[in-house]
Amino acid sequence: MAGILDGKKIVVMGVANKKSIAWGCVQALMDQGAQVILTYQNDRMKRSLDKLLSDVDLQMFECDVAEDANVEKTFTAIHESVGNIDGVIHAIAYADKDTLEGGVKNVKKDGFNLAQDVSAYSFISVSRYASAIMNEGGSILTLTYIGAVRAIPNYNMMGVAKAALEAEVRYLAAELGKKQNIRVNAISAGAIKTLAVTGIKHHGDLLKMSEGFTVNGKSVTPMDVGKSASFLLSDLASGVTGDIIYVDNGVHLIV
Ligand code: NAD
């Protein structure tokens, strides 16, 4: 059966392990026929990916987004290896524990800068270097959370970074749509127990609260997110850009 991503080359950034949202995206994209190219942060993540990919052969490139030079080098290497690409998923965020736990009032400049740098600025950098090697009509996607637009308990500084990220989606969509017909969107995912979430104080309460607000009592899974990501990366979403699409089983209807 033909997939909606047949013939598309899509870079997925941010698989840490099998619980990662990015891993759900990889599986859904492959189900729809995409050629997936992965990037990983460091050697530790590569070892984890090697285990996950024992029976799948995907190309992988190192990319710590903390430096623009790394991002540029990675997309140049991807271009040399596979040619032009059709899409990118940016599933990357980080804030140190002290910055997350102290509440927004107590955030120090260093912690603020690090969280914004990795969780929000990196999306600009990735969009810049990815769009340089992208076919016309390409699609760029990032991951956000409802804590960008609501004061979710303990989400703190990450909510501030996600608010910046969501603004970037709109500005980049306007710029890249005009010049290259590239679409830029975000999925606002419901809470899912991943490595990143365990950095949030009382994350068990957050996960429980989120599940309680779903319309059907069930948290979304990485695969649920991946299926919507497949649509947004495909030509079926040709008219969708600059949008924040909620994939949260209805949490945003109530919170
Ligand atoms: P995860 O821990 O599986 O993934 C986070 C990824 O970010 C990891 O692969 C890590 O290597 C990468 N990363 C961190 N710093 C990096 C750097 N300097 N360079 C390159 N990569 C770096 O967690 P996840 O929950 O799957 O997170 C993926 C995205 O989804 C994040 O943007 C997160 O904020 C977002 N999100 C998560 C949830 C949730 O409840 N889990 C909800 C909404 C949005």
Residue whose CB lies within 8 A of the most ligand 1 atoms, among 143, 144, 152, for a mutation test: 143
2 CA from centroid of ligand 1 (Å): 30
Amino acid at the residue 240 = V
The DSSP element (H or E) to which 89 belongs, if any, is: strand 85-90
Q: pLDDT tens, 186-200?
A: 999 999 999 999 989
Residue whose CB lies within 8 A of the most ligand 1 atoms, among 11, 94, 211, for a mutation test: 94
Q: Is 64 annotated as a binding residue?
A: yes
Q: Which of 94, 121, 155, 246 is catalytic?
A: 155
**Cβ(16) – ligand 1 distance below 6 Å:** yes
25 CA from centroid of ligand 1 (Å): 12
Q: Which residue has the tokens 């024992």?
A: 54
With a CB cutoff of 8 Å and minimum separation 6, the contacts of 121 are none
Residue percentage of the chain with pLDDT more than 70: 100
Q: Is 95 annotated as a binding residue?
A: yes
Q: Say if strands 9-13 and 183-189 run parallel, antiparallel, or are unpaired.
A: unpaired
Q: Is 21 annotated as a binding residue?
A: yes
**Cβ(138) – ligand 1 distance below 6 Å:** no
Q: Please, are residues 30 and 230 in contact by the beta-carbon 8 Å criterion?
A: no
Residue whose CB lies within 8 A of the most ligand 1 atoms, among 11, 20, 75, for a mutation test: 20
Q: pLDDT tens, 111-170?
A: 999 999 999 999 999 999 999 999 999 999 999 999 999 999 999 999 999 999 999 999
Q: pLDDT tens, 8-43?
A: 999 999 999 999 999 999 999 999 999 999 999 999
Q: What pLDDT is recorded for position 168? A: 99
Q: What pLDDT is recorded for position 159? A: 98
Q: What pLDDT is recorded for position 6? A: 98
Least Cα distance to 14 among 230, 227, 222 occurs for 222
Q: Please, are residues 135 and 84 in contact by the beta-carbon 8 Å criterion?
A: yes
Q: Please, are residues 34 and 233 in contact by the beta-carbon 8 Å criterion?
A: yes
Q: What pLDDT is recorded for position 1? A: 75
Most confident residue range from 50-54, 100-104, 121-125: 121-125
pTM of the model: 0.98
CA distances from 154 to 121, 122, 165, 186, 247 (A): 22, 23, 19, 22, 21
Q: Which of 40, 94, 121, 145 is catalytic?
A: 145
pLDDT-based confidence at residue 54 (cuts at 50, 70, 90): confident
Residue percentage of the chain with pLDDT more than 90: 96
Q: How far apart are CA 179 and CA 170, in angstroms?
A: 15
Q: Which two tokens stand for residue 224?
A: 């649920």
Q: What is the mean pLDDT of the chain?
A: 97
Q: Please, are residues 87 and 140 in contact by the beta-carbon 8 Å criterion?
A: yes
Q: What pLDDT is recorded for position 102? A: 86
Indicate which residue's Cα is closest to atom 23 of ligand 1: 196
**Which atom of ligand 1 lies nearest, measured to the CA of 17?**
3
Q: What pLDDT is recorded for position 215? A: 97
**Which atom of ligand 1 lies nearest, measured to the CA of 45?**
11
Coil, helix or strand at residue 79? helix
Q: How far apart are CA 122 and CA 116, in angstroms?
A: 8
Q: How far apart are CA 70 and CA 247, in angstroms?
A: 31
**Cβ(20) – ligand 1 distance below 6 Å:** yes
Q: Catalytic annotation on 155? A: yes
Q: How far apart are CA 15 and CA 20, in angstroms?
A: 6
Q: Is 162 annotated as a binding residue?
A: yes
Q: Which domains does the chain have, with CATH numbers?
A: 9-253 (3.40.50.720)
